Structure 1
């Protein structure tokens, strides 16, 4: 009889890899708290929050209750509505920057970016500028794997160079200086202004990951650049989009990364931690000005997007439970505590040969190498320390669940250092 792993290898295509895969995945049989139980009986502390989504850990009572409560499983969102979706949208409006008043519920983070780009294009069309069809962004970014999202990812260092020639040609500024704070880099802000000025007649909007660039390189930049982008967008009447899919809901030390800069975008995309990792859901929030333009007959008369599972009641219920659970707890204290343990625990990596940088922000810890990671060796080292990590390119990083105990965070940090040593 074929084993589960044999069947997986024959039939299951895993992300970012060939079919069949080059390595066999670990088989998970249970997940509780911050631990993954494997088929061979081992337990691994999850240092990744399941791609940054499971901020409450696994089998959280409040989120379990949201799924098991007597509720409608699914109804189409066209022409119908329901309490979970309305409550969720209202809650998101309450906790995000004030100008954001309207919520489009999407299937995933990538789809929320697609929706945001459509909003930008329709906004310009409504204002009599149909020739403004390009997006401005900066290098080093990652926004997802669907086609509009791929087009605003880094065109050279990203994962989507295969599609050059097919993707829309967007406008790319240089990557922001890799520092969270420090002296104000007016030269970079001037560079952003110059790029926008040069292409203003063809730009519909600007989209960036605020403060932290995620899968494009786990780089941190100063919030000051977000204020510069806000001024640039206002000057040229561009729609400013913040991709908070990875940074939202407290990961950087503020509830949203935009809060570090004290500015509000015209569109904000959220996802990942929105449902605590339980179900797939994201959202694109926008201002009344954007919603009015998209809804104007000149702009299209409405947003031409309607996912089959948009506003799914179960996903809406668990998202609402996740957000409420986050706000109920001292999430800021949890994130600060994780950051302190990671700062201390990752410090020894600075002395390792081949390490270019070690950095921590909020509940994010990164060891950057000067060469690509030997991923199997790095993962094996982490597993020997009882931790699950997934390095990529030249990065070994962690984003622990917010509920991780100090001793678990310390173990994660030791595993990152070990992975850097072996990888």
Structure 2
């Protein structure tokens, strides 16, 4: 990429959460291979972000490349309305084999945000039909969720994202009003064991579900790990108790595993830490190993029947690129890699290095806390980072880490070796020594 291209990019291309009037610098990528991002300016960076948590197998994987090449020779896309194809059927079989037995139906969507939109619409349509059978109008139009949660950038997804502690607070007056309970306290597994569970973690949640349950369509949350809303890790027994409360009050439980699904937390799905089952499950990001955008919303026979057994006679949603054959083929290859089970030892190795190295950073006065689970490592600082300066600092050290706010976190590809993890953590250690990297 030459100077003219970078100049055009800066003047005309809008990057995520970046101003057009004062754009942040962008680094030109010429190639990505395994755990490395190669810049056209000559630098090679160890990727600590898995391209926003999706490229779990690394880049340019031969099996995923082969799946894409083979599929594109047949068809890159065909509408899913009235047509079907083997890549979608095969992906459905693989997903059902990976998820609990109560999951029976799969809606293949375009992106993580869309999968959340689909889940919320499923819950609303389920209760709409339930009330209509009794000649009533459904009063269940709200959702209960946790503070510090994040579920995506589209409007329904934003409405269940924390309205006060997220990047979406400016839209607060335009979004539907839902119910937010205090998030459980951060919890940390050490040497394979969780600390003792404190039931008061859910005191506010229990009050709000009791008070609002007649008007709730579902509870929606990120299991065990809250992502972009704060990179918070909470005790699995909180999730177990929430499942009990949903059963007690007859509510659907939607679990957003877009960030945590497919091994990121050390279990194939984060809800497995709590030994529970969801009513509706959202997955995305790592589904295709970071190659293409694809997501899925999975649900039970009970929910699917309730959604379709009404006036409309079907679920009222259908994206243009639903079940895209090219994306489905790559997803099948990605899940095939996971089914070889190498991810389990890979993620455990990464977790062990986090457990050894991250606590050492607590001696620094800029560090407020550290936390880790599986292939997720977080350093929370007292001061917010200066993104432009700290990004350049990381690049100069040969790593790619993209912090936000007061959070410096890494979610590397599973194939990272110990030397890669050490380089990423050392780069954080160097950055927190530099006052210019913080406001």
Provide TM-score, normalisation by structure 1: 0.97
Partners of 2:25 and 2:393 lie apart in 1 by 17
CA contact 1:356–1:368 (8 Å) conserved in 2: yes
CA contact 2:280–2:298 (8 Å) conserved in 1: yes
Q: CA deviation at 1:191?
A: 2.9
Q: CA deviation at 1:21?
A: 4.5
The answer to whether structure 1 residue 133 and structure 2 residue 141 are counterparts is yes
Q: Partner of 1:113: helix, strand, or coil?
A: helix
Partners of 1:37 and 1:177 lie apart in 2 by 39
Could you tell me which of 380, 398, 410 is aligned with 1:386?
Answer: 398
Partners of 2:90 and 2:109 lie apart in 1 by 16
Q: Look up the match of 1:339.
A: 351
Partners of 1:230 and 1:326 lie apart in 2 by 27
Q: Look up the match of 2:313.
A: 301
CA contact 2:163–2:169 (8 Å) conserved in 1: yes
Q: CA deviation at 1:377?
A: 2.7
Q: Look up the match of 1:351.
A: 363
Q: Look up the match of 1:328.
A: 340
The answer to whether structure 1 residue 98 and structure 2 residue 112 are counterparts is no
CA contact 1:211–1:222 (8 Å) conserved in 2: yes
Q: Look up the match of 1:283.
A: 296
Q: Look up the match of 2:251.
A: 238
The answer to whether structure 1 residue 163 and structure 2 residue 166 are counterparts is no
Aligned length in residues: 422
Q: CA deviation at 1:266?
A: 0.2
Superposed, which structure 2 residues align to 1:99-248 within 5 Å?
A: 99-128=102-131, 130-180=138-188, 181-248=194-261
Q: Do the aligned partners of residues 345 and 187 (structure 1) sit closer, same or farther apart at CA in structure 2, a change above 3 Å counting?
A: closer
Q: Look up the match of 1:395.
A: 407
Q: Look up the match of 1:52.
A: 53
Q: Look up the match of 1:13.
A: 14
Q: CA deviation at 1:100?
A: 1.0
Superposed, which structure 2 residues align to 1:33-48 within 5 Å?
A: 33-48=34-49
Name structure 1 gaps, 5 residues minimum. none
Q: Partner of 1:309: helix, strand, or coil?
A: coil
Q: CA RMSD in A?
A: 1.3
Partners of 2:417 and 2:350 lie apart in 1 by 8
Partners of 1:418 and 1:108 lie apart in 2 by 36
Partners of 2:386 and 2:114 lie apart in 1 by 32
CA contact 2:182–2:202 (8 Å) conserved in 1: no
Q: CA deviation at 1:106?
A: 0.5
Q: Partner of 1:3: helix, strand, or coil?
A: helix
Partners of 1:226 and 1:345 lie apart in 2 by 28
Q: Partner of 1:18: helix, strand, or coil?
A: coil
Partners of 2:337 and 2:302 lie apart in 1 by 31
Partners of 1:153 and 1:97 lie apart in 2 by 26
Runs of 4+ that moved beyond 3 A? none
Q: Partner of 2:262: helix, strand, or coil?
A: coil
Q: Partner of 1:164: helix, strand, or coil?
A: helix
Could you tell me which of 370, 377, 380 is aligned with 1:365?
Answer: 377
Partners of 1:62 and 1:21 lie apart in 2 by 41
Name structure 2 gaps, 5 residues minimum. 132-136, 189-193
Superposed, which structure 2 residues align to 1:56-71 within 5 Å?
A: 56-69=57-70, 70-71=73-74
Q: CA deviation at 1:38?
A: 0.5
Q: CA deviation at 1:419?
A: 2.4
CA contact 1:363–1:400 (8 Å) conserved in 2: yes
Q: Partner of 1:326: helix, strand, or coil?
A: helix
Partners of 2:6 and 2:28 lie apart in 1 by 8
Provide TM-score, normalisation by structure 2: 0.94
Q: Which moved more, 1:108-117 or 1:329-338?
A: 329-338
Could you tell me which of 414, 417, 420 is aligned with 2:429?
Answer: 417
CA contact 1:348–1:417 (8 Å) conserved in 2: no
